[in-house]
Structure 1
Amino acid sequence: MHVSRVLVSASLFGLSLSASSCNGKWATLVQSTLSSSTTIQCAAANQRWSDFAAPSPGAVVTVGNENDVAKIIAAASKTNTPFLVQSGGNGWADTFNISSTGIIIDISQLKNISFNKNKTQVTFQAGVTNEDMINAAWDNNARVSVSTCNCVSLLGATLGGGLSRTQGTYGLNIDNLISVNMVDASGVKKTVTPKSDPQLWWALTGAGANFGVVTSATYKSQPVPQAQNTAWTGLVFFNESQIEEVITAIDQLTLEPAMQMDIYFTASPLDGKPGVIFLPFYLGSEEVGRQKFASILNIGSILDTTEVIPYNTWNSAGDPFCTDGGRKPSYTIGLKKMEPTAWRNVWNAYTEFFNSYAEANLTTILTECYPTAATAKSVQSDGSTSYPFRDIKCYAIAIPWYTSPSIDAAAIAWGQQVRSYWAASAGTSCTSSYVNFAHGDESLAQIYGSSLGQLKQLKKKYDPYKRLNQWFPLS
C-alpha cells in the first residue's frame, strides 16, 4: 500500500498536525523539546540494507542532536510506543516487530569524530560508519579497530562483539571501548565505564541492543603514520575444482595475530559466473604475508591480485555488499573446523540456487576467519564482556540476494540447507550464531551462548518493561 510521506521539522515551532497524526501521543509529548535539526517523516517504508522482514514504522525520526535521543525514547516509553533505533540500517534479522504504531529513531546523522592530542583515543557518535572512522583515522595518522564492511555502523557492529581484521592485534571492537554515553529504556542518559557499572558494561559489550541506546563512545586508537598504515591483501581466484584443497588448507592454517582471511562463493568479477575467491590479509609486508599464507597460495590460483594497500582501502573489496534494498534473508554459523565434503555440498547448493534464479545473481557465501589466540594485551578473555564466542575461528554466512518475494520460500529453504551442512561439521560442542550475522530463527542459546542466563537476569534489572526488544530480544 502506498502511503504519502510528509517531512516536517520537529522544532519548537515545527511539528505540524500532519506529523502528529502519524505519530500519536509520543510526538505531542516531545514536540516542544526537540532541536530544529531533528525531523520526522511519516512513512510506511524505511530504507534498509535488506527488504526481507524489514520493519514498517509509522514514522522515521531522523535525529540531528545527540541529546534528542533521550527525549524521544522517554516520550516513546511513557506512551508505550514501540521504537527501533537505526544507524546504518544494515541489521538483517527477522526479529523486528515495528509496525505503523511504532517509530524508527534514525541516528545516522550523528557523525562527530574527535581524536585526543596523541591519537590514543577517539570519541565518536553513533551515526559513524566503519568508513567514516577509517577516513578520519587515516587523516589523523591513526588506526582504529573497525569491522570489515564500510557502510555498517561502527557502534552497531561493536555492541554485538565487533569482528575486525586487526582483532588478533587489538582485540574485538568491544575490547577497544573505553566508555559509552547511552540512553536507557526509560530515556535516562548515563555514561558507563567498566568501573562505573561493571554489570551493565558486561551486558552492553556483546548484547548491547537489549540494554540501552549508545549515542556516542570513546574508543582506543593507535597512532600510526600514513606511510606505515598499510597491509598486504587482495583477491585470489581459484577454480571450483580446487575447493577441497583450499578448504583443507584454510582449516589447517593457524592464524597468527597479524593475519585474517575471507573466502567467498560469489559471482566472479572475471566472468559473472559462480566463482571461488580467497582474500588473505596480513598486517605487514607482502613477502612475509605470502610466507604466512603459502599453504593456500601454493595450491595455484587463476589470478592473484594481492598487493600492499593503505588502511583507508582495506575494506574496499566488500563495497558491493553495501547496496541497499533487495531481499537478503541471511543464515550463519560459527565454525572451528572447515570440512571439505561439507563445503563441496555448499558449493553444489550455491550453484544450483544461483543458476535457478536469474535475479539471484548476487547471492553469496561469505566466510570470515580470524585468529583466536588472545595474544595482545587489549584482548579481554577474562569474562569482562558478554560476547561468548572468542574461540570461533570462522563465521560463515549464506546470503541469498534477490528482489521478488516469490522467491522467499526457495531462498529460506536454501539458506537453511546450507547452514545444516555447516552445522554437521562445525567442530563445536554447541551450535553458535554471531548476533550481527544471525537470521532470527536460532535459539537464544545459539546467539548468546554461555552468557544467556546472566543476560536474562540483567535484562530484568535494566529493562523491566521490555522496551528494548527488537534485536534478538532477551525478554
Structure 2
Amino acid sequence: MFFNNLTILQLGLLLLQGSTTFAKHISSQTCNNCSCVIAETLGPKLSAGASFAYSTVAAPRWSEFDAPDPGLVVNVATESDVLITVQYCNENNITFLAQNGGHGWGQTFHLGLEGLLINLSGLNSTTFNADKTEATIQGGALVRSVVDAAYSNGAQIPTGNCNCVGALGAILGGGFGRLMGLYGLGVDNLLSLNVVTANGSQLTVTPETEAELWWALRGTGPNFGIVTSATITSYPVTTAENGAWAASFIFTEDQIEDVVEAVGALDLLPEMAVFLYYAVSDGTPVVLVSGSYAGANNSDGPNAFASITAVGPVVEQAAWEPFNEVNAGGDSFCAKGGYKPAYGAGLAELVPATWRSIWNEFVDFVAINGTSASTVMVDCYPMEKDPDSTRFLFVLSLEIYYQLQCCISFGKSVRSLWYETSGIATNATYINYAVGDEPYSVVYGDNLATLESLKSVWDPSRKFDQFFPL
C-alpha cells in the first residue's frame, strides 16, 4: 500500500475562479477521474497553502493492517480548509476521514478509493497565553512538537508518551501519559474545542456552550466531529523542574515473577510512570522495565524505584533528562508501515503467573521469522487524579503479511490471558488501544447508551463512521 522514498511528481494545476488563479500542488500518482474532478472543483475553495495527493504515501499509516485507502488526500493548511472540505463532501455525498499522525490501529476503518482523507498535519502550531497557563494546540500537531513548544515556553502539557502520535488524537481518546499523576488525564485538562461538525458547521465547544457535546467529544471525539484546535491547561515550571529522572532496567527470564510482583506492588507516586515490556534485543527475548520520575534533578527518582532495582537488573541505565528528551526512548515505535495488528486490555492488577504464561507464548511467537519487532507492554500510572481508571495495557504485534493469521492469534491469546486475571469485574479497554472486534460495551462501558443517543442528535447521517463508530 505504501511506497517508501517514492518520488512524487509535483504538477502545477491552474484552477480559475473569476479573475483569481489558484495553484494547487498535486501528485499524479494513481490519479483517477473521480479524484481529479474533486481536486479541480474543491481546489478553488481552499486556501493557497492547501494541496492534494493521489497516493497514501502523502499521509502514511503507522500500520497497514486494515488501513484506510482513500482515492484522494487533501492536505489542509488552515482550519477553514477543514470546514470547507467537509461541506464539499456533504454536498457531493463523499465519504471522508480526518487523520493526523495515522496511529489509530482499529480495524473499523473502511475508507476506500471513493473516499477522501483530510490530512491535518499542516495544522501543527502550539501557542500559549501570556502567563503560560493555557495552550492552544492545532489538530495536526504531534506530541513531539507540543512537548518542544511547552519546554521552550517554560511549561508542561499533559500529552501522550509517543512523540510521533497526534497530540489531540491521543488526548481526545482520554489522554494518559507520564504526567497524569500530577495533572490528570489530558482530556480532563481541555478548556475548549474548535470543532467541525457533521452538518458542516464550525463550533467552539465548551462546558458552558454545548455541555452534552463537550462530554461526548472528550473520549469519543472522532464520532462527533473534527477537532481543528483545542485550548488546554498548561503548567508553568522552572527549567530545573522541567525534566525527569528516567531509567531502564533489563532482567532475565528467571526473574519474571519477581519483576512483575515488584511492579504490581510499587507505590506509584504522582511524579511516576512505569512501563513493563517483553521485547527482543539482539535476537534474544528480554524483560525490560523503564520508568520516569518528573521533577528536579535529585535523589527522588532512584529512591522511588528502589524496589525495582532490588530485584537485581542485569543492565541498568538512569539519568536526569530535560522533559523535551524524556519521550525519546519510545521513538522506535514511530516507524510507519508494516502490518501491526494490536490488542489491548485494561487491568487493575498484575498477576505473575499470567505474565509467565504470556512470556512462554511470546518466546514461541518471536521465534517465527519476521516477528522480532513484536512487543508486549504494560503502562502503569498513579490514579489519584482519576480514581475510576484502570492501568492500561496493550500488545503490539509486527508480522509479515503471509503470517498475519499467526500474529492475530498471538494478540488475541495475550488479550484473553489479561482478561482472565484483570482484577476488574468486566472486560474493558482504552479506546485508543482497542481493536474493533470487542463488543462496544468493552470500549465505551456504561456510557454506550448515552453516546448512541447523542450520536443520533449530532451525527444522524453517520458521517463520522470510521473509528469505533457509534
TM-score by length of 2: 0.92
Given the alignment, which residue of 266, 271, 295 partners 1:253? 266
Secondary structure, counterpart of 1:328 in structure 2? coil
Residue correspondence of structure 1 range 389-400 to structure 2 within 5 A:
390-393=388-391, 395-400=392-397
Given the alignment, which residue of 187, 212, 221 partners 2:200? 187
Residue correspondence of structure 1 range 289-368 to structure 2 within 5 A:
289-357=301-369, 359-368=370-379
Counterpart AA for 1:367? V
Confirm or deny: 8 A CA contact 2:27 2:54 kept in the other structure.
no
1:309 positional shift: 1.1
Confirm or deny: 8 A CA contact 1:129 1:151 kept in the other structure.
yes
1:294 positional shift: 2.1
1:44 positional shift: 6.1
Confirm or deny: 8 A CA contact 2:249 2:288 kept in the other structure.
yes
Aligned to 1:387: none
Aligned to 2:63: 50
Distance 1:261 1:319 in 2: 17
Secondary structure, counterpart of 1:219 in structure 2? strand
Confirm or deny: 8 A CA contact 1:7 1:42 kept in the other structure.
no
Aligned to 2:383: 372
1:151-187 per-position Cα deviation (integer Å, ceiling 9, x unaligned):
0010010110011111111010111111111100122
Given the alignment, which residue of 159, 166, 176 partners 1:163? 176
1:296 positional shift: 1.9
Counterpart AA for 1:472? F
Q: 1:397 to 1:118 in 2, by over 3 A?
A: same
Given the alignment, which residue of 235, 238, 243 partners 1:230? 243
TM-score by length of 1: 0.91
Confirm or deny: 8 A CA contact 1:25 1:79 kept in the other structure.
no
Q: 1:11 to 1:168 in 2, by over 3 A?
A: farther
Confirm or deny: 8 A CA contact 1:11 1:35 kept in the other structure.
no
Q: 1:17 to 1:330 in 2, by over 3 A?
A: closer
Confirm or deny: 8 A CA contact 1:7 1:40 kept in the other structure.
no
Structure 1: state its 5+ residue gaps: 382-389
Distance 1:119 1:189 in 2: 26
Confirm or deny: 8 A CA contact 2:346 2:427 kept in the other structure.
yes
1:225 positional shift: 2.2
Q: 1:158 to 1:10 in 2, by over 3 A?
A: farther
1:17 positional shift: 13
Aligned to 2:425: 429
Aligned to 1:279: 290
Distance 1:356 1:30 in 2: 48
Aligned to 2:107: 94
Counterpart AA for 2:371? A
Distance 2:52 2:452 in 1: 34
Q: 1:11 to 1:23 in 2, by over 3 A?
A: same
Counterpart AA for 1:400? S
Given the alignment, which residue of 389, 409, 412 partners 1:413? 409
Aligned to 1:445: 441
Confirm or deny: 8 A CA contact 1:11 1:37 kept in the other structure.
no
Tell me if 1:217 matches 2:230: yes
Secondary structure, counterpart of 1:306 in structure 2? strand
Aligned to 1:68: 81
Counterpart AA for 1:159? L
Point out the more displaced range, 459-468 or 70-79.
Answer: 70-79
Point out the more displaced range, 175-184 or 35-44.
Answer: 35-44
Confirm or deny: 8 A CA contact 2:9 2:27 kept in the other structure.
no
Tell me the percent identity: 38
Distance 1:31 1:140 in 2: 37
1:114 positional shift: 1.2
Confirm or deny: 8 A CA contact 2:251 2:286 kept in the other structure.
yes
Aligned to 1:173: 186
Q: 1:32 to 1:413 in 2, by over 3 A?
A: same
Aligned to 2:126: 113
Distance 1:10 1:329 in 2: 42
Counterpart AA for 1:166? L
1:433-455 per-position Cα deviation (integer Å, ceiling 9, x unaligned):
11111111111111111111111
Counterpart AA for 1:155? L
Counterpart AA for 1:430? T
1:241-291 per-position Cα deviation (integer Å, ceiling 9, x unaligned):
1110111112222322122100111122xx341111101221235522222
Residue correspondence of structure 1 range 192-207 to structure 2 within 5 A:
192-207=205-220
1:59-104 per-position Cα deviation (integer Å, ceiling 9, x unaligned):
1111112210000011112222111111011111111000110011
Counterpart AA for 1:412? I
Point out the more displaced range, 14-23 or 298-307.
Answer: 14-23
Given the alignment, which residue of 453, 457, 460 partners 1:461? 457
1:14-33 per-position Cα deviation (integer Å, ceiling 9, x unaligned):
46998682327755653321
Confirm or deny: 8 A CA contact 2:27 2:53 kept in the other structure.
no
Distance 1:421 1:108 in 2: 38
Q: 1:305 to 1:247 in 2, by over 3 A?
A: same
1:105 positional shift: 0.5
Secondary structure, counterpart of 1:436 in structure 2? helix
Tell me if 1:132 matches 2:145: yes
Distance 1:17 1:163 in 2: 37
Aligned to 2:19: none
Distance 1:6 1:301 in 2: 52
Distance 2:404 2:103 in 1: 19
Q: 1:452 to 1:2 in 2, by over 3 A?
A: closer
Distance 2:153 2:27 in 1: 46
Q: 1:216 to 1:247 in 2, by over 3 A?
A: same
Distance 2:109 2:294 in 1: 38
